[in-house]
Structure 1
């Protein structure tokens, strides 16, 4: 089967490495959104290698099963399975014996040299999203890390990344911590995902943030980072912060922090329900509510409000809405 869409969608190419003293080669996957490129790069040696899977997608009702041959039929099409086939339903693993005539399934399939259709993935209850997909699996053991660049403004790093493009539907990237084992006889990468704190690092300008898992959706342009989130910003007055989760948007190039936001800088502690960090403007907007306002406090007193402008360089704050404060007499 031909895959011309890979040229314009998910480009699988080789780029020269810039980090090593001597030239080496890096495997790269590329996605485009509104003129900006999201590029995933393996920065370390080709061990384990990047695995690229090209699959056709099928879906429908099982009309026949052959337990002896381990085949299943959807209408007039017969699909073979083997020891590499993954059987599962939402949230749990399954087996061939769990299949029943009349069940809805989603299949990832590759046509073999003899014309047979081999199913590598069988999801019980799944729906076919599009005609085909390409999936690239990246793993970089320490001291290397897989890198994602979001346009020219932000980068993310982690041990494991999965790039998946469903043709004519959407592109996705998942990055987290973990390890990988290459099984040469099966040409397969066995991933052990470990979404632990600080498994993923996001860099933008002077700001760095850490989380446990990053999920990028190309339709929305959002890179969602699961917490706990740790935030640091360099400068004359360094900043440290935290939140429960974070979103970086490729289009507007801003960070959004959600849940239990806390910023500490130059003796001032500010708390909020959410925040928008505009790194290019060197400011953040902190948001609260009447019941739980933004609160910014130092040794001289505190101010509160439902919306606060925060200067990332100095730590100074300006209450824009719902101002209230209390200060010590000089």
Structure 2
């Protein structure tokens, strides 16, 4: 069963945390999915043409123990509920795909299903060992081949871009967004959009103010308000004194509107190199706080010498640094 987003805008607007709408001032239709967190809107937008199409899947969620299986009819039971399957049904054990024949009575499963016109329940996704959290799921699938990119707006001050996005909204439980690189293929005979996720360097771009950062995959959890970006992380900031940086991973906090750089942080600007274990980039204040440990303090050096400390204030515009805790330094004689 396929649902085009265009036809479900009014229905989806009634769901908690879901609003599918066409921007009033947009010259062309743009398919969107919307999540709200503490008054801020997280909006996922397909910017390119409707090829491949953006799709929405509406699923009821069921969980429990398999009580019976019929390999000939390819049906299964959870308690007294009967579920049919077909070529669209996918089976998983953890993240590993399996076949219907590998299912066993007594296994704990999570089912995504939908009621058919004849009243029967059709299973689309069967996951062994998983628990059903919530009663219903809305899954939005987006793909924008180059030169277009799917866009995510985190409130008004930050945006992220990538080729593939998957939005999963579990009603009354939580909302999730995955953004990464890859390709998509619409399989007409199966009425399905097949996403091929391909996390790789620079697959995801995050923009905030003058700062741009790249990573391989972004995972947003609406309950925590954090967008976690897997590395390698590259950072650039425009200005009179351009800055370049790197880290192992990154987190954007929607509530605080700050970037957290984590693991082997390195900032380079105007001949100065600064290293730390983590950094908090406050773009709106044009500063960053860098943190180290006793064994690996923050270190900032240029041709004239170095300073070290456990906490350091970094001016993003000028590259000037101030050691706030545990200061130590060494400079060459003029």
Of 130, 134, 139, the match for 2:138: 134
> What runs of 5+ residues in structure 2 fail to find an aligned partner?
1-9
Partner of 2:289: 285
Whether 2:24 is the aligned partner of 1:13: answer: no
Does the CA contact (< 8 Å) of 2:287 and 2:316 recur in 1? yes
Whether 2:257 is the aligned partner of 1:228: answer: no
Partner of 1:303: 307
1:93 Cα deviation from its structure 2 partner: 1.1
Please give the secondary structure, in 2, of the residue aligned with 1:82. Answer: coil
1:14 Cα deviation from its structure 2 partner: 2.3
Does the CA contact (< 8 Å) of 2:201 and 2:214 recur in 1? yes
Does the CA contact (< 8 Å) of 1:300 and 1:328 recur in 2? yes
The separation in 2 between residues aligned to 1:79 and 1:15, in whole angstroms, is 39
Partner of 1:323: 327
Q: In the comparison of the two structures, how many residue pairs are matched?
A: 325
Please give the secondary structure, in 2, of the residue aligned with 1:25. Answer: coil
1:6 Cα deviation from its structure 2 partner: 4.2
Does the CA contact (< 8 Å) of 2:308 and 2:329 recur in 1? yes
Partner of 2:101: 97
Please give the secondary structure, in 2, of the residue aligned with 1:156. Answer: strand
The separation in 1 between residues aligned to 2:216 and 2:24, in whole angstroms, is 29
Partner of 2:259: 255
Of 15, 19, 40, the match for 2:44: 40
1:9 Cα deviation from its structure 2 partner: 1.3
Partner of 2:211: 207
Partner of 2:7: none
1:16 Cα deviation from its structure 2 partner: 5.7
The separation in 1 between residues aligned to 2:189 and 2:88, in whole angstroms, is 12
1:187 Cα deviation from its structure 2 partner: 2.0
Partner of 1:118: 122
Deviation sequence 1:208-243 (CA, Å, 0-9, x none): 000000000000000000000000000000000000
Of 180, 183, 188, the match for 1:179: 183
Does the CA contact (< 8 Å) of 1:17 and 1:26 recur in 2? no
Partner of 1:314: 318
The 5 A counterparts of 1:142-161 are 142-161=146-165
Whether 2:66 is the aligned partner of 1:58: answer: no
1:184 Cα deviation from its structure 2 partner: 1.8
- TM-score norm. by structure 1 comes to 0.96
The separation in 2 between residues aligned to 1:294 and 1:6, in whole angstroms, is 50
The separation in 1 between residues aligned to 2:15 and 2:111, in whole angstroms, is 24
Change (3 A) 1:214 1:6: farther
The separation in 2 between residues aligned to 1:6 and 1:55, in whole angstroms, is 16
Q: What is the RMSD computed on CA atoms of the aligned residues?
A: 1.3
Change (3 A) 1:194 1:17: farther
1:325 Cα deviation from its structure 2 partner: 0.2
Please give the secondary structure, in 2, of the residue aligned with 1:63. Answer: strand
The separation in 1 between residues aligned to 2:235 and 2:15, in whole angstroms, is 37
1:75 Cα deviation from its structure 2 partner: 1.1
